[in-house]
Structure 1
Amino acid sequence: MFTTMSVQLPTNTLLDLVAQLKRRSGSQDLSEAITTAVEFWLADLKKFPKTADPEGLHGYQWKCLFLPEGTVLRSWSYGEHNYARVEGDEIIHNGKAVTPNQFARSFARTTRNAWEDLYVRRPGDKQFKLATVLRKEILREQEEACKAKLQVVALPPLSAPAAPPVPSGVNMPPDGVAASVAPRDPTPGEGWTLPERRKWRFRLEDVAFD
């Protein structure tokens, strides 16, 4: 059973919701309509990358890593830090748009790997984090999401095949009767010294008229 809570809703918003329900000729249950609206809103938020601003989503897409507007990139070269910032949909350094690789190579005399060289601090992050670490976290989340989907769509295990129907007229023993029958006792009878090989210890004609 689900628990519920009371929340405050502006009167104008509530009246707009009632009017919208009347026009759509749908359910008149306000609680159901509000719940549906909130669920749609939450589902829409999950489509955006973490730390992104859904209201005005801008940023730079670096492979699998999204850098929302306001992200700061930092590199270390020759004893000092160098910074670039995501403005709009571009990475800006010294007033020019650059790629992560261009920014990483701008202060180095050798080839640099931007993933291993640049540190990233997105809006909402408390500290800088190496770009390759962020990439590994995203790939791990994607892998876990794929595994979860596979578990949901996995087929249930096949049940054991049903026993064939018993022909009419055949009386089957109750369950457990066959297992409860004791095994034959091979101990020789009185006065008998050879191993017992007969199924029955005495002949039927010897005891039928006793």
Structure 2
Amino acid sequence: MSSRLSLSLPLPTLRALLDYHADCECACDPADLADQAIREWLQRQHDLQRPAGRRGYLWKTVFLPDGTRLRISTHAGAHHAEIVGNELVCNAMSMSPNQFVKASLGRVRNAWEAIYVQMPGERQWKNATRLRYEAAAQARRLQQRDAATSIVAAPPGFPSQPRQAALVLQDGKLLLPQLRPDCEERRRTYRRAEDLLLD
């Protein structure tokens, strides 16, 4: 039997789950229904990382579609690999980006820095690190957009979310996070009044 852990849910979400449980007259426990909902959400998140109906290689957060070319340049020449189906293929062998770097250079090196990528239909080669940063920026933009659309106001007196991720919706206006009242700026009493540089 797997161990269980309690999670706090917003009241509207819990109410919607219990209403659904009552309407569908499921024989399962509400906790099992919540577990199933979370598992399905996680599966959707994994499916969203790989575009539907497209074949390609998912390298951490970067999706390389079928037909993408990879290149490593050395003093001896350039080494190439290609995405064929869902595999990275070099010299008729399926391998990971790290293995491609090791086979090309003869030593281990950071694959993100060594590999240049040419997407299908493009002429320009981009460094893999640049693609990684672009993918991370896109994920942040999507996350911020989703967070802004799904904000639930906290009841009065209830502590707000952590200030790094908190966005406040008040009277239809999106406000920047505010410092908590108990987090005042450091007082200047412990700082030197002046710095003297003597020759």
Instruction: Give the TM-score taking structure 1 as reference length.
Output: 0.47
Structure whose alpha-carbon radius of gyration is higher: 1
Instruction: Give the TM-score taking structure 2 as reference length.
Output: 0.49
